[in-house]
Structure 1
Amino acid sequence: MRRLPRGEIVAVPDVTLNNGATMPQLGFGVFQVADDEAERAVTAALETGYRSIDTARIYQNERGTGRALRGSGIAREDLFVTTKLWNDDQGYDSALRAFDASLERLGLDYVDLYLIHWPAAARNLYLDTWRAFEKLYADGRAKAIGVSNFTVEALTKVVDEGEVVPAVNQIELHPYLQQEELRALDARYGVHTEAWSPLGQGQGLLSDPALAPIAEAHGRTPAQVVLRWHLQLGNVVIPKSVTPSRIAENFDVFGFELTEPEIAAIAAMDSGTRLGPDPATFS
C-alpha cells in the first residue's frame, strides 16, 4: 500500500491464477527500455508501489531489471517477476538453457511467471517448448507458466496436448484491439488475459474524442480511464513509462469506477487495429 497525492491509500488487487498463485492485476512493463534506463524506471515503479515487473529476453534489459529488484530492499516474496522466452530459443533443450540464462541475468533463483513470447507457428516448436516449461514449473523454478500472443488455434493446441494449462495469455489489447473472441477463450480455459500495449501507444488512442468526456467526468486523464477500463474488464495490465510522473499517474487508477455506459462507449472504439505483428504469421 502507499498514499497517493490525492490522499488515497491504495492496494493493487490480485488475480488468482489457475494454479492458485496470485498476481497483481496492475504491473509495470519495460518493453523498448534500455538496460540502464530499465534499472531507473523499475526503481521508480517499485518506489511508486508497483510489485509486478514484466521483462523479456528480447528486451535486453533483464540485467538492469534485476539490479533494480535486488536493490529495492523489497522482500523477494513480495515481488512478482515475469520474463519471456524468445522465438529462436524455442525447443525443449534450448528453452531450458534460455531460462537458465534469463535467471542469471535477473540474478534470481526463480521467476513468478515465464511466458513463451510468441507461438512462432512456422517453427512448429511451441509444443516442445511447452513441455520444457512444464518441467520448469514442476521443478519450482517458474512458479507459473503461460504464453504470450497465442492465437485461438495455438492456445487450443497447448491446452489440448499439454499437461498444464497456461496461467496467462499476454496479448496486444487496448480499446482499438479488444480481442473479444480470444479473451472469451482464455476465460473458458481458465487462462488470465494480460494486456500489452494497454494504452495503444502510437495510434493516437489517448487523444480519441470518445475518451475526453469520460476523463473529464472523473477528473482523470485518458490514460487513467483506459487503464481503469482494463481493470474493470478483469484484464491484467502492464503499462510502460520511463517518466516518474507518468509511472505514478498510471498507478493512480483505483479511486474511481467507470459506469456501464462509459464502458460501452469504450467498447464501441474497437476497430481491430494492431500495433504489433500478427501472431498467426510472426516467427
Structure 2
Amino acid sequence: MGRLSTVLPSLQQLRQLQLKDSSSCEHEITCDAVLSGLGALTNLTHLVLPEVADGELLQHLPASLLQLELIVDEDEGPVQLGHLTALTKLNAGQYATLLGLGELRQLRSLSLKGVYWREPEADAADSHELASLLRVLAAMRQRGLPHLTHLSLEKQHVGRAAAASLSQMRGLRRLQLMDCQVEDCSAAEIALGLKPLLKQLDLSCNAQLTDAFLPTLAYALPGLKESSLRDCAGISREGLRQYVLRAAGDDEDGSCSDSE
C-alpha cells in the first residue's frame, strides 16, 4: 500500500482506468488497495472494476466518474452509489446490492445483471425494490431531467409493477429484459407504453412469453430496428413468422386477442 500512496498522486490527470483480477499477477496489488486511493484522482471519468471484496471502499470513488462498471463480492452488504451524481453510464454485475441509484440523475445507460435488492432468495422483495427504482427513473424523465435512453436488466424479476413503471419510461431507445420472468401482459404493456421511440428490444430467455403477445408487439413497435426473442420456449416458429409479417406490414388491427 505504501507503493500505491506514492504512485497515485502522480496520476492526477488520469481519465480512464481498468483494474483486472490480480489473482494471477506475480506482484499482487488488490483492487481494494487501489480503491482506497482513487478519491485523489479527481479527473477520472471511466472506471472498470473486477470483483470488489470491500463494498465500503466504493465510497472513495471520485465524484468525477461518468462511466462505471463493477462487480461486488457475493458476501458484501449494500453498496451506496448515490454520491456519484455525474454518472452517465453504470454497468453493475451480479452479487451487487445497490443503493442510491435514484440519485443518479444524469444516467443515460443503466445495466443491471443479477443485482440483489434485499436477500437473493426473496423474489417478491426483489421485484418490489426493482419496481420502486423504475418508478423513480420514470418520474425523473417526466420532470424533464436528462433522459435515460438505454436500459438493460438481466436475471431480474420484472413483474406487473415493474412492467407498469417501464411502460412510463417514454423516450427509451434501447431496452433489454433478458431472463427477467416477463409475462405476456407485461411485455404488451411495455411495448404499448414505449411506442413509437423504442428501436431495440431484447426479450431473450423469458420462458413465460408466448405467441399471444406478438400481435401487440408488431402493432405497437413496427419500427423496431433490432429485436430478439431468442430462447423464449413459449414462442413458436409459426408465431415468429406471423410476427415478422405483421411488423413488416404495419398491421393496424394488432391486439392481444388477434389469433392469426
**TM-score higher than 0.5 here?**
no
> Which has more helix, going by share of residues?
1
TM-score by length of 2: 0.30
TM-score for the superposition, normalised by structure 1: 0.28
